[in-house]
Amino acid sequence: MSGQRVAIVTGASRGIGRAVAVRLAASGTAVVVGYAGRAEAAARVVDEITAAGGTAVAAQADVGDEHAVAATFDLAEKTYGGVDVVVNAAGLMVLSPIAELDLDDLDRMYRTNIRGTFVVAREAARRLRDGGSVVTFSTSVVALQFPTYAGYVAGKSAVEGITMILARELRGRQITVNAVAPGPTATDLFLDGKDEATIERLAKQPPLERLGQPDDIAGVVDFLTGPQGHWVNGQVIRANGGIA
């Protein structure tokens, strides 16, 4: 596998993470398809990649569990020789007004969205090969400030802070660290619990007048982790069709 780039993509069993894994594999990158609980879905992603001539293996890990995340990096190093790209697409979103938010849900979001980002970033900082890339995931709602998103936005604001600091801490290693902040994107995470009128209203908000698609976001990640995007570092890319 000498010379082949290797990527770990968390949250890769569905949605944006799946699209990122497939896109990176199509670019010739060996991909570790990280998943929390959807083993069959992750296996289908691996099958899709290999059927198209790519290289992939699945790895189960709760991103908030530092031992499971370390084991995912171990698998990548044992199977492919190292890690060049880390994309942390795992996320959890529970929507509720602040006055009604169940604090257990807040804790669950904290574990996945803040602790999980920190755990993955810490392991990447320790083990990523020089010249590599890290991409975290924020949300454009940090700027849009939609009601009911407070718990989610609190975590994603922390993600942006972690990302900016990591970019500066990795000085001298030629590693880029950026956050992608999608707007409304047609994934299960976004669509669950929304009626058609709400979805239609959100789709009309950007000047491009549609929801984002997972492939739209995967293209941004492919750019940021490839040689053509290597001058972009320490940035939050708001990929949202111009909504804000």
Contact 212, 240 (CB under 8 A): yes
Confidence check: pLDDT of 244 > 80: no
pLDDT digits (tens, 9 = 90+) for 61-111: 999 999 999 999 999 999 999 999 999 999 999 999 999 999 999 999 999
* Exposed/middle/buried for residue 40 (C-beta within 10 Å: 0-12, 13-18, 19+): exposed
For residue 35, indicate whether it is catalytic: no
Q: Which of 35, 110, 149, 152 is catalytic?
A: 152
Question: What SS3 class is residue 2?
Answer: coil
Across the chain, mean pLDDT equals 95
Confidence check: pLDDT of 243 > 80: yes
Confidence check: pLDDT of 149 > 90: yes
The whole-angstrom distance between residue 196's C-alpha and the CA centroid of its chain comes to: 26
CA distances from 112 to 23, 136, 162, 242 (A): 24, 12, 14, 28
pLDDT digits (tens, 9 = 90+) for 164-177: 999 999 999 999 99
Superfamily of 6-237 according to CATH: NAD(P)-binding Rossmann-like Domain (3.40.50.720)
The pLDDT confidence band at residue 1, using thresholds 50, 70 and 90, is very low
